[in-house]
Amino acid sequence: MASLTCGFPFGSPKAAFFSLLCVCAVAEGQYQYKGIRKFDQVQGSRQGAVFEEQWFTQELDHFSGQDSRVWKQRYFVNEAFYKPGGPVFLMIGGEGPANPAWMQHGTWLTYAQKLGALCLMLEHRFYGKSHPTADLSTDNLRFLSSRQALADLAHFRTVMGEDRGLSNRRWLAFGGSYPGSLAAWFRLKYPHLVYASVATSAPVYATVNFPEYLEVVWRSLASENAECPVLVKKASDTLVERLKDPKTYDNITKDFNLCSKLQIQTEMDSAYFLETLAGSFMDVVQYNEDNRGFEGVVGTNITIKVLCGVMADASLGDAYARYAAVARLMIDTFSVKCLDTSFSNYVKDMTNASWDGPAAGGGRQWVYQTCSEFGFYQSTDSPNQPFTGFPLVYHVKQCADFYNISAEQLAEAIAQTNEYYGGYDIQSSRIVFPNGSIDPWHALGITQDIRSDLPAVFIKGTAHCANMYPARSEDLPQLSLARDHVFLLLQQWLKQ
């Protein structure tokens, strides 16, 4: 499933982690398929500064006075633009390691330079190097939630304000994707601590089933070529039919350059395989023509235009053959040897509770959050989307398999999330909600003004978190205008 997060949150196969939330905002993607390199520190060429990791003492459970356990949370500071009396910008971490490249690059630093702001970035608990517990057992993951994360932010803001003499300064929260939601909710739940928020590409409505994600994928592909999603659908349907005959498995293994011979023994096996292949299109749509290169992300030149070009190339063969060509293109682009579509390997990785485990970069943690708070499952349950074979039941069963969370518990958790935060009905002020029309996550975000002090900035033709990345000459005019509009709002609010 496409991760909200940061990652590849908030279309890649690793359940909800790898599309929505992972690269957007401050999270650094963890799926090796993405070719992300790690940053322990970043040399700021403009300021000549090294952004070293620093540590802040947090409580393990902010909501229990009986629990006195504490842990160390990672954060970063950039003081290059700060002018006495200026505001404080707080970038919120998401479902992956906080990437200090954001202390050197990004639209928020342009705003900081103009407004004389001090810039801080706080890593999310249970991600990156911020390890509150000894391992990632399900019992320990009960301390992983958006509510605990907001309490971390509140305590960090309070203590840093006192220690640095910034208590009376105006603090502004920034985040994209899941951290965008946190930015909005931080202002909502702690209005005395945060003055305003920029909640980019923020899915504020929790839902178990999110078939609208793939509906937007269809429309985004069709915006390039009306036949593109039709061909994808034809290819997907053909593949599903071939999966019914084990005699085809050797050819499928070769066609898609799989790491091992395709084995389909259960519906979960086929669903995982089909979702993995669909993930290429989901990821590319979500991050289409963004500017993530400064984070160390490679392959960002693979766009909707490129994929639809492959799907339109009759010289490659029928729709199925072109679909396989897309998979091989992605494998080559990200320099991986083969595509691992083994569901049993995925289960083994996701149930490894060690901090050294293969899913500890964020996968096990983020999928837990989807099972315990958000849902966001990008199923093929809608007829108005281009894929087949990974229905809601496939996603929901993973909650039981990985964390012993039942479908009933999942539904109740999602209802509680919307009750706690308000879903689309956010009752607050001074929050701006930028979203891109290409980004499938906009379907769960605020795309129309709630009030004049809760404005939406809907950017036609842009993808996930596009307004957060550094400006470049190729940017669409409406993207440049959106960045300017957000700045003018912040400028106006700070004068109030």
Domain boundaries, the chain: 1-239+346-496
Q: Are 243 and 256 in contact (CB under 8 A)?
A: no
Q: Using CA atoms, how far apart are residues 258 and 57, in angstroms rounded to an integer?
A: 45
Give the model's pLDDT for residue 304: 96
Q: What is the pLDDT of residue 51?
A: 87
Overall fold of domain 1-239+346-496: Rossmann fold (3.40.50)
Q: How confident is the model at residue 351, as a pLDDT? A: 97
CA distance 201 to 196: 16
SS3 (DSSP) at 433: strand
CA distances for 472 relative to 292, 469, 483, 495, angstroms: 11, 9, 12, 29
Q: How many CB atoms lie within 10 A of CB 305?
A: 13
- pTM score of the predicted model: 0.92
Taking CA atoms, 130 is separated from 303, 350, 451, in Å, by 33, 19, 37
Chain-centroid distance of CA 362 in Å reads 11
β-partners of residue 209 are: 377
What distance in Å separates the CA atoms of residue 263 and residue 270, rounded to the nearest whole number? 9
Spell out the residues 6+ positions from residue 469 whose beta carbon is closer than 8 angstroms to its own: 105, 106, 107, 290, 291, 292, 294
Which pLDDT value is given to residue 64? 95
Token pair recorded at residue 317: 């063969």
Q: What does the pLDDT read at residue 335?
A: 86
pLDDT of residue 293: 67
Low-confidence ranges of the chain (pLDDT < 70): 1-50, 292-300
Active site residues: 177, 439, 464
Query: What tokens appear for 65 in the block?
Result: 């006075």
Query: Tell me, what's the pLDDT at 297?
Result: 58
Q: What share of the chain is helix, strand, coil (3-state, %, to 5)?
A: 45, 15, 45
pLDDT of residue 36: 23
Buried b (16+ CB within 10 A) or exposed e, 366-394: bbbbbbbbbbbbbbbeeeebbbbbbbbeb
How many angstroms separate the Cα of 465 from the Cα of each of 15, 42, 295? 20, 22, 14
SS3 220: helix
Nearest to 273 by CA among 284, 287, 263: 263
pLDDT digits (tens, 9 = 90+) for 176-186: 999 999 999 99
Tokens 């596009």 locate to: 466
The 3-class SS string of 149-162 reads HHHHHHHHHHHHHH
The predicted pLDDT at position 194 comes to 98
Q: In the predicted model, what is the mean pLDDT of the chain? A: 90
pLDDT for 222: 97
How many Å apart are CA 320 and CA 348, to the nearest integer?
30
The per-residue pLDDT for range 269-278, each reduced to its tens digit, is 999 999 999 9
Q: What is the DSSP string of 363-376?
A: HHHHHHHIIIIIEE
Round to whole Å and give the CA distance between 323 and 312.
Answer: 10
